[in-house]
Amino acid sequence: MPPRPQPQPRAVRREGQHSARSLLAAAVLIPLACAYPLLERQFQDSEPARDNGELAQLSASTIELAAQFVPLQAVFGYDAQPVEAPPVAEPPPPPPPPTPEQITALLDDAAATLVDLEIKIDPRRRARGPLPAGSGLQQAHDEARALVLEGRFEQIRQWMALAQFGSREPGPHCGFSPLSRYDLVVTRTAKAAKGGAKDLAYLHIVVPAQGLPGPGQRGTHEAWIGDERWVNLADSLDPSRDYVPFKTNGNESLSRQWAQANVVAGLVNIANEYHQHTGMLLGIGDLSHVTGGKIGDHWTHQKGVDVDVYLLDHDHVSTDGRPQVWWNHIKRGVSIWTAEPKGKGAREPVADPADEHSRTPTSTRLEVLANIVLPIDDIAYFVHNDSSVLDPFDAQAGARRPGRRFLHAQNRGFWPAHADHVHLRWVAGELPVGVAPRP
Ligand SMILES: [Zn+2]
């Protein structure tokens, strides 16, 4: 007897379903390239789901949750139906840690990749330079899982950029190098060299104890300035999705986005909140070099505590496709925003044409940002030219934490004018009070 045709569930098709799905896939896959630590954390946080339908196998948190709603007796009652957990693909079990032979082979691969990247220095297989307690480097070298390169600051910056992003000067793009699957750790002493000696730094290339992460994923990338841990912004946020690496002069680069770990964590929250409130991506310029120290275009930005932020106008795009930057000037006591650095170009229209003190789209965004930053007392200085927006914030900031300042054209002390971007400075400890502010 031929099988009876079974009623089939009707396929629900909507227009644009496929493109929506591929968009979704892209949205899931693209961040994988850059924001891998977020993903990794999510994997670690979620218990492996089991779908064999047995209550005993449900996670403790699920049972706890269920207990809040029904007496446990009812759940475990003998006529209770087995509860089926929704089917979730089980992640493959982690591979066993690499053997000493495999580790040696991986380090040989790394050394060969250094040659491919034209890093013409023989890596050492024995520890060199500082090995900060929190870095795990001592153990990695003890277990023969690490190579180390020694060089001047400038060299180490370039080598780290090559290892991390596959390019000596990555610009705003998050590239990929085979070495980025290794843990990459830059170290240097906290103090600069004395008496004309060269400032040396070290780049350690480490096979993680559990082996390299899968293709497309990356290892842990960090820097230790003395005992201070620094990270790169592009390892916490996706530069093509969560923020725009940007400098007005076009010299933005992910390799200049290193800072103390707490600074980057704070900046991640600020960028996300700004996006939620404005629907626009925050432009983020220079933080610091991976080694810290002198950096072009700035007096500051040497210690991993300074961040330049741009309130970009994504609705107005320049001829080169970059978002518009508005410059703020105070003219006869009135705050104006213009498209030209010298203030002679087209003005940004005010929301209320009858009121010259009225907000513009950019000054509104500046106010949004100031409101986001105000509760963050670790940020000691918020610097931007527009006094009409920032003046009310200055007193509030000082009331929250003595010496904390929102600086603008009229109260900036020794700080330089900031017409096209906001400068944020994190400072720990006590702040000077009642003196002219200086960077
Ligand atoms: Zn700055």
How does DSSP assign 66-96, residue by residue?
A: HHTTS-HHHHH-TTPPPPPPPP-PPPPPPPP
Neighbours of ion ligand 1 (CB under 5 A): 308, 423
Ligand 1 centroid from CA 423, angstroms: 5
| pLDDT score of 16 more than 50 | no
Residue 20 clears pLDDT 50, i.e. is over it:
no
C-alpha 281/C-alpha 38 separation (Å) is 19
CA of residue 114 to ligand 1 center, whole Å: 33
pTM: 0.79
| 282 against 7, higher pLDDT | 282
Alpha carbons within 13 angstroms on the beta-carbon side of residue 291 total 24
pLDDT in tens, 198-232: 899 999 999 999 999 998 899 999 999 999 999 99
Q: How far is CA 303 from the centre of its chain?
A: 17
Interval 22-33 mean pLDDT: 41
CA of 308 relative to ligand 1 center, distance in Å? 5
| 406 Cα: distance to centroid of ligand 1 (angstroms) | 14
The alpha carbon of 104 and the centre of ligand 1 are apart by a number of angstroms equal to: 44
CA–CA distance, 133 with 226 (Å, rounded to integer)? 10
Does residue 153 register a pLDDT over 50? Answer: yes
C-alpha 416 – ligand 1 centre gap (Å)? 9
Q: For position 83, what pLDDT does the model report? A: 66
User: What average pLDDT does the segment 178-198 reach?
Assistant: 92
Ligand 1: distance of its center to the CA of 1 in Å? 80
3-state secondary structure of 202: strand
- Please give the biggest Cα pair distance in the chain: 96
Nearest to 274 by CA among 320, 318, 239, 243: 243
- 291 CA → ligand 1 middle, Å: 17
Residue 318's pLDDT band (cuts 50, 70, 90)? confident
Q: Which helix (H) or strand (E) holds 423?
A: strand 422-426
Determine the Cα–Cα distance for residues 38 and 120; give it in Å rounded to an integer: 34
Q: Give me the residue spans of the domains in the chain.
A: 100-230, 271-426
pLDDT above 70 covers what percent of the chain?
Answer: 81
Task: Give the full edge-to-edge strand order of the sheet including 200-206.
Answer: 146-152, 200-206, 183-188, 221-225, 228-232, 258-260
- The C-alpha atoms of residue 85 and residue 82 are separated, in whole angstroms, by 9
Do the beta carbons of residue 148 and residue 204 sit within 8 Å? yes
Q: What is the mean pLDDT of the chain?
A: 84
